[in-house]
Amino acid sequence: MEFYITTPIYYVNDKPHIGHAYTTIVADVLARWRASQGEQVRFSTGVDENSQKTVDAAAKAGEDIRAYTDRMADTWEAAWRTLAIANTDFIRTTEAHHHEVVRTIWERIEAAGDLYKGTYEGLYCKGHEAFMKESDLVDGLCPEHKTAPEVVREENYFFKLSAYQEKLLEFYDAHDDFVMPAHRFREVRAFVEQGLDDVSFSRERKEGRAEWGIPVPNDPHQAIYVWADALVNYISVPGFEGWEHHPADVHAVGKDILRFHAVIWPAMLMSAGLPLPGQIAANGFITNNGVKMSKSLGNGIDPLALAAQYGNDAVRYFLLREIPYGEDGDYSETKMKDRYNADLANGLGNLVARVLTLAEKENGKGTIVRGTLDPALDRAAMATARTVGERMASFRFSEALAALWELVALGDRYVNEKKIWEIADDAARAAALFDLVSLLEAIATLLAPFMPATARAIDAAMLWKDDVLHATKPAVLFPRIS
């Protein structure tokens, strides 16, 4: 495996909403893009099960915890199948092999002298699975989860994160694209420069709380902190040898969990004597009509319903084109429909229909043969391929798609200027059509990672037999929506 990309592993107490789908789609596009460049790809996603949230959600559902996690893991996996996500691996943190890797990492960190027992006293937000400061609260509640954090006083193991401040800063200096986009990297660096506190890395196991989860080696009264467990999934997927040989190239995450990935995780790996991942790419948050999506508000947008209405590819297109990567973005039905009608129905869909309607008329005449491409179109297609490549390398998906759509506009102009339907001369008409179908081929190739089914439909409409084109106008790719 040459290129290894991951998504976060999602908590099983919720079902996928459009925000989760967004991060997964980003990873999917990158995975497909790398594969289209001839690389071998490992692309992993999965579920984070060893959390207190799981215990609470199973109890609330009145289900046995195992049965609950099995059912929810299936829900997540099935969602990714429906959305045509091309992950090669799906990890569950209840798997025995993952537990083994987590224990080994714990032992390595302990052997490095980076774990010590201390008393933790403070506030714990179950929603975040993280400790909070008094100053984080609004009216005594976690501002995100609107719940009062638990007051916790107990013996925990602590990870000496404070010992890694200098090493992290040195590492950041040497890897100036470690966190993408750049403004997020500046936030991470500023956070680390302020100085780091040690982190509680375990919880007491007691009735109804943390009896689930992975026991600390040689101390079964403690369970490994769910984040210290979850992050290790990235190693469990390829196994130790796999990771040592080739750690993840990209961890695609949301901005909410960037510190875990860009600060704690590298420090854990340094402590365990393992190589660090290549990049952490953090997307912004999607709101629903300007409102944050949350379980309590029940306003999470279901990606499966959206895909059933508009098609998988249209959802992918919307998310990647509408939201500049790294920024927050908003979903609304109006925005979705505007993009759909303007860019897909009237844009790409219309060009494909125009060109292939004209090309189909030539079937049986054998006139469209492989020839020499119009040099201006050829240059434009090559320049776009370069531009798309550069923008993909820096996670600028929206701009990559914008470049691709300039090629669509070029095709439209070409059809209008040439007025193909008025060309009486067979050879001249065929030459113009050859230019256009070649342009569609170029568009389909570059489009494939973003909109795989659409690219396949375009390709399938153009069959070359002995260098003669047989074109079939495909069914309307994107019927207009009112």
Query: Which amino acid would we find at residue 209?
Result: R
293 touching ligand MSP, by CB under 6 A: yes
Stretch that binds ligand MSP, among 217-225, 228-236, 383-391, 466-474 (CB under 6 A): 228-236
Selected binder of ligand MSP within 188, 199, 210, 231 (CB under 6 A): 231
Neighbouring C-beta atoms of residue 300, cutoff 10 Å: 17
Q: Does 471 bind ligand MSP (CB under 6 A)?
A: no
**β partners of residue 30:** none
3, 4, 8, 85: residue in contact with ligand MSP (rule CB under 6 A): 8
Dist. CA 235–CA 102, nearest whole Å = 9
Following DSSP, what letter does each residue of 217-281 receive, concatenated? Answer: TTEEEEEE-HHHHHTTHHHHTTHHHHHHHS--SEEEEEGGGHHIIIIIHHHHHHHHT-PPPSEEE
Nearer CB in complex with ligand MSP: 149/254: 254
- Cα gap 59→429, rounded to integer Å: 70
Q: Which is nearer to ligand MSP, 242 or 300 (CB)?
A: 300
The residue within the footprint of ligand MSP, chosen from 237, 286, 351, 471 (CB under 6 A), is 286
90 touches ligand MSP by CB under 6 A: no
Point out which span in 35-43, 153-161, 251-259, 340-348 binds ligand MSP (CB under 6 A).
Answer: 251-259
Closest-CA residue to 12 (of 46, 45, 48): 48
> Is the Cβ–Cβ distance between 321 and 339 less than 8 Å?
yes
Contact at 8 Å (CB) between 356 and 473? yes
Selected from 83, 253, 267, 368, the binder of ligand MSP by CB under 6 A is 253
Q: How far is the CB of 302 from ligand MSP (least distance, A)?
A: 13
Rule CB under 6 A: choose which of 216, 257, 262, 455 binds ligand MSP: 257
Nearest to 337 by CA among 357, 362, 365, 309: 309
The secondary element (H helix, E strand) that includes residue 157 is strand 150-159
Task: Say whether residue 268 binds ligand MSP (CB under 6 A).
Answer: no
Stretch that binds ligand MSP, among 2-10, 407-415, 429-437, 439-447 (CB under 6 A): 2-10
Smallest separation, CB 155 to ligand MSP (Å): 25
Kindly list the residues in this chain that would bind ligand MSP in the complex (CB under 6 A): 8-11, 19-20, 22-23, 48, 230-231, 233, 253-254, 256-257, 283, 285-286, 293
